[in-house]
Amino acid sequence: MTTPVCTSAHTTHFTAYVRSKGPTLLRTARSLTPNPADAEDLLQTALTKTYLAWERIADHRALDGYVRRTLVNTRTSQWRKRRVDEFATDELPERVGAGPDLTEQQAQRDALMRAIARLPPRQRVMVVLRYYEDMSEAQTAEALGVSIGTVKSAVSRALTKLREDSELELWVAPHAA
């Protein structure tokens, strides 16, 4: 069975109705669903259904109510057809592959930044350029106007101080075993 399509006169009336009431109907659709894109889809579906029923609507003064009812019914149908991904259970499922503790990672980063801040300025600059800026020894030496040997020795002393830092030992010791 095919649905009869409206005549051009009906299409003109329908188009005029949509142009005049479209923003109001969109507000209604947006009140039915939180996502603006879903609201637009909902309104489009409701207007399609209204267009197909245009000739069967006896009282065109009641169009607003008809379209609003179509919006609500369409949204209810969508809600009923939705896919349910969560089910209530008596026991919580085990967390598989729980990720790293972000709080601990942030605490480690903070401790490392405090330890780097305690380094002498020259060593601090060299450590930052070598390991945070990912520069080579030659690039670091060129940027600071010193020899490569100076960079190597200063970075080596800085890393020794960081390894001996009591605050960082708390983070390294459990993982070294």
The verdict on residue 91 lying in a domain is: no
What is the pTM assigned to this prediction? Answer: 0.44
Q: Do 114 and 162 sit in the same domain of this protein?
A: yes
Asked if residue 20 has pLDDT above 70, the reply is: yes
The verdict on residue 88 lying in a domain is: no
The verdict on residue 96 lying in a domain is: no
The verdict on residue 26 lying in a domain is: yes
Predicted confidence band of residue 81 (pLDDT cuts 50, 70, 90): confident
Q: Do 53 and 110 sit in the same domain of this protein?
A: no
Q: Do 120 and 58 sit in the same domain of this protein?
A: no
- Domain-ending residue, one of 50, 81, 112: 81
Q: Do 108 and 154 sit in the same domain of this protein?
A: yes
The chain-wide mean pLDDT, for the chain, equals 84
Q: Do 110 and 143 sit in the same domain of this protein?
A: yes
The verdict on residue 128 lying in a domain is: yes
Q: Determine the structural domain holding residue 136 and report its residue range.
A: 103-176
| 3-state SS record for the chain | CCCCCCCHHHHHHHHHHHHHHHHHHHHHHHHHCCCHHHHHHHHHHHHHHHHHCHHHCCCHHHHHHHHHHHHHHHHHHHHHHCCCCCCCCCCCCCCCCCCCCHHHHHHHHHHHHHHHHCCCHHHHHHHHHHHHCCCCHHHHHHHHCCCHHHHHHHHHHHHHHHHHCHHHHHHHHHHHC
Q: Do 23 and 74 sit in the same domain of this protein?
A: yes
Predicted confidence band of residue 72 (pLDDT cuts 50, 70, 90): very high
Number of domains in the chain: 2
Q: Do 172 and 112 sit in the same domain of this protein?
A: yes
